[in-house]
Structure 1
Amino acid sequence: MNKNLKVISINMVTFILIILSLIISVILYLVLISPGKPDVFKDEDGNILESSISEKIFVPIGGVKQGMFIRSKNTDNPVLLFVHGGPGFPNYFLFEKFKPGLEDYFTVCYWEQRGGGLSYTSEVTIESMTLEQLTSDAIEVTNYLRERFGKDKIYIMAWSGGTGIALPAVAEAPQLFHAYIAMAQITRQRESEKIAYQFMLKHYTEMNDQRAVKDLLRFNHLETESDLISFYNSGTRDKLMHKLGIGTMRSMKSVFIDIFLPVWTCRAYTLKEKYIIWKSKLIFLPKTNLKIQALKTDFSETYPEIKVPVYFMCGKHDLTVNIDLTKDYYNRLDAPLKGFYTFENSAHGPLFEEPERFMEILVKGMLKTDISLADSNTTEQVTGH
């Protein structure tokens, strides 16, 4: 009996040592791939391009320290402020992974909004986490970029939840911007969620995926406001959207594999910063009302006119932010110049799914205020899914 206990004890110790070794190996690996600096731009001989910039900086914005990456192959190029989605969850890791090429033609500022990513600090209060404050921050970041790079105006591009920050900023201070580029412009998100829910329920029922149907039915067909909010904030929503290819990208089938892990392997962040990204995402941001504000605001009704050129980029298969609702807003929007662009092979992220076409629209179209590449039927309603 004592001999058996001794064997069991040895096996347990061995098992624990193996687990500890694996944990230490993973931590060491993460440290090695987390230098915390964005890659520099080099010429064919391996020398850093003279007029390039690639930095991670922290600037006082709205009374708190906020982080951002600024990158360009030539700082003489037009300045572009990228306003990520979420709101509050930074997307820079996707740019490092997919390299769509914005820095070839722009000096790009990847600003990380207060309370999220590089801009998550104890100085940020729950009370300050409002769309109004983030809009004010976006304008302040814009003025910082204008002064630093000597530009009278800059371009602003927003994605998904970020459009609920950038759109008000452009409406409030149009004199600061050349144009507004919206990828997956939110409009009536409450309605968008209901459309997405019914779409998923129908398709998972037809697929006889009983587990998915059961998960969806927990939200009671979104009959009440609390059901709708619970669904909007749930991991179930994101997981099932990705499984059907109507989430972040058509090719993304797993939030864990395609979002969680790429954040941890992004070299531009230190290991501590990566931890903070997820601490903010999972603990701090859920305490704020940012998503509820975005859900309850009818942006198409609130901002019927924008006094700069507007470009809407939408994936045909996007149900995270419904393309039909965005198209309806576009048709009613009053702007000096506007173009609507449907990406046939994309869901929520056409910049990463169809980067060549996206960049062609920016360079050959937007920079020349030319909308000839826009959809030919931009005054017609897009058919439903």
Structure 2
Amino acid sequence: MKMNRIKVNAENRSSLSSDRQWGTSLVLAWMVIFLTSCAGTPLIKDENGKKRPQSIASLEQIELLGKKQWILLRGVNVDAPILLWLAGGPCGSEIGWTRKYLAPLENDVIFVNWDQPGAGKSYKAADFKQIRVQNYVDATIALSEYLAMRFKKEKIFLAGHSWGSIIGVMAAHQRPDLYYAYIGIGQQVNSVENDQIGYNMVLKQARQRGDHALVKKLEKNGLPPYTQAQKGAYIDFFRHLPSCPPGICSKNSFWEMVKPKEYTLLDSLHTLKGLINGINMVYPQLVDLDFERDVPQLDIPAFFVTGRYDYTCVQDIAYRYYAKLHAPLKRFYWLEKSGHNPCYQEPERFIQLLRDDILKLAE
């Protein structure tokens, strides 16, 4: 018995191919729309739901040192002092956390979040093969100059959290004329000593709870510092650093930080990717970091806010640096119910100390 064959002519094949291409293009178009849409920052409104006339709520792309980068500016009064916030990382973003926990400061300052090169909306601004710590310091200074000029301010306030506290101290040291004061939160001071303390703590706890796999991995990696070839070893102990004892510190959701209203899904993905790439590339450059040796003096007021249970940037080292530092005015604040994120774990206390002691310097 002969089977009937179905013949498909060239015209039909062309039509089927065209349909497939159209379908693929449509799917890709929807994916691009899904990944890149629905991002913006809400207006600052009065009690009647109308935009406050003197307010600013703007998500903007600007150019710094030849690189296109994004900033978020929010404040009730466009004439208020400026607070530039340097997020942790490297290549991290804290727009989500500052928007949730520090929003009341919008009544006092123009709060400026900056997605540094490699972070979130500024992911494409980073060349990870050429990334250098001083590049971020130079960009911090350039952004400070831009903000002061744009808003006709003589000076601004500079705050740095974690990684941001590294480039913050360096910028304040190199250009004190730009700043009313420097505010270090979870201040990093000495990379090698800091990380060796953290490593020994993680190793000790792993042995106590019988985590043989982690003990084996840590012992194989050895004590920090690590070379570029060992860059993953830092993550091995860093992600196991102890947090606060149960019931003492509030927890901040990682996803609140990664997916704020100002981000598209693609921005969120870039935040995750940027953190991994940034830590791997920048960490080996911090081996020689020692502010006690290199920045024993700041020519502006310096304020330090530290969580009592901060083991990421060891609190005792931060206090030791504060005690030795020469500055025209300096203060150190212990937040007793916080770890590495005191500004987000005790936001009311943090906001109050800024209002009571720091922001008055702009008057």
Give the TM-score taking structure 2 as reference length.
0.82
Deviations 1:145-183 (A, max 9, x none): 001111000000001111111111111111110000000
- Give the residue type in structure 2 aligned to 1:172: Q
Question: For residues 78-119 of structure 1, what are the alpha-carbon distances to aligned partners after superposition, in whole Å with 9 as ceiling and x for unaligned?
Answer: 101111111211121212343452212110110111122222
Secondary structure of 1:155's aligned partner: strand
Q: Determine the C-alpha separation between the residues in 1 that align with 2:229 and 2:188.
A: 16
- Give CA-to-partner distance per residue, 1:272-309, whole Å, 9 cap, x none: 22222223333x43563x22223431122111110000
For the residue of structure 2 that corresponds to 1:241, the secondary structure is: coil
Residue type at the aligned position of 2:267: E
Structure 2 letter corresponding to 1:160: S
Alignment of 1:189 onto 2:191: yes
Which residue of the other structure, out of 319, 325, 328, is the alignment partner of 1:333?
325
1:98 aligned partner:
101
Q: Which stretch shows the higher mean deviation, 86-95 or 178-187?
A: 86-95
Distance 1:252 1:115 in 2: 26
Matched AA of 2:321? Y
For 2:224 and 2:303, how far apart are their aligned partners in 1? 34
| 1:240 equivalenced with 2:240 (yes/no) | yes
1:58 aligns with 2:61: yes
Contact 2:228/2:284, CA 8 A, preserved across alignment = no
The 1-side partners of 2:140 and 2:224 are apart by: 36
Larger radius of gyration: 2
1:350 alignment partner AA: P
Report the AA paired with residue 297 of structure 1: L
Residue aligning to 1:269? 263
Q: What is the SS of the residue equivalent to 1:70?
A: strand
Instruction: Name the structure 2 match of 1:118.
Output: 121
CA distance in 2 between counterparts of 1:140 and 1:352 reads 27
State the alpha-carbon separation in 2 of the partners of residues 191 and 319 from structure 1.
Answer: 12
Residue 124 and residue 78 in structure 1: after superposition, are their counterparts in 2 closer, same or farther (change >3 A)? same
Q: Distance in 1 between matches of 2:100 and 2:151?
A: 27
List aligned pairs for 1:1-385, cutoff 5 A: 31=34, 35-121=38-124, 124-126=126-128, 128-220=130-222, 222=223, 225-226=226-227, 230=231, 233-234=234-235, 236-241=236-241, 244-245=243-244, 250-252=249-251, 258-259=253-254, 261-263=255-257, 265-282=259-276, 284-285=277-278, 288=281, 290-369=282-361
- Aligned pairs, number: 331
CA distance in 2 between counterparts of 1:207 and 1:157 reads 38
User: Conserved in 2, the CA contact under 8 Å of 1:219 and 1:227?
Assistant: no
SS in 2 for 1:306: coil
CA contact (8 A) 2:192 2:224 kept: no
Residues 224 and 31 of structure 1, relative CA distance in 2, 3 Å threshold: closer
Q: Distance in 2 between matches of 1:136 and 1:111?
A: 14
User: What code does the residue aligned with 1:353 have?
Assistant: Q
Q: Tell me the CA shift for residue 369 of structure 1.
A: 5.0
Q: Which runs of 5+ in 2 are unaligned?
A: 1-26
What secondary structure, in the 3-state scheme, does the structure 2 residue paired with 1:101 have? helix
Q: Is 1:34–1:268's contact at 8 Å kept on the other side of the alignment?
A: no
The 3 A distance-change label for structure 1 pair 232 and 167 is farther
2:240 partner amino acid: L
SS where residue 113 of structure 2 aligns?
strand
Letter in 2 for 1:54: A
Q: State the one-letter code of the partner of 2:270.
A: I
8 Å contact kept, 1:250–1:347: yes
CA–CA distance in structure 2, aligned partners of residues 350 and 200 of structure 1? 21
Give 1:348 deviation, angstroms: 0.6
What TM-score does the superposition give when structure 1 sets the normalisation length? Answer: 0.78
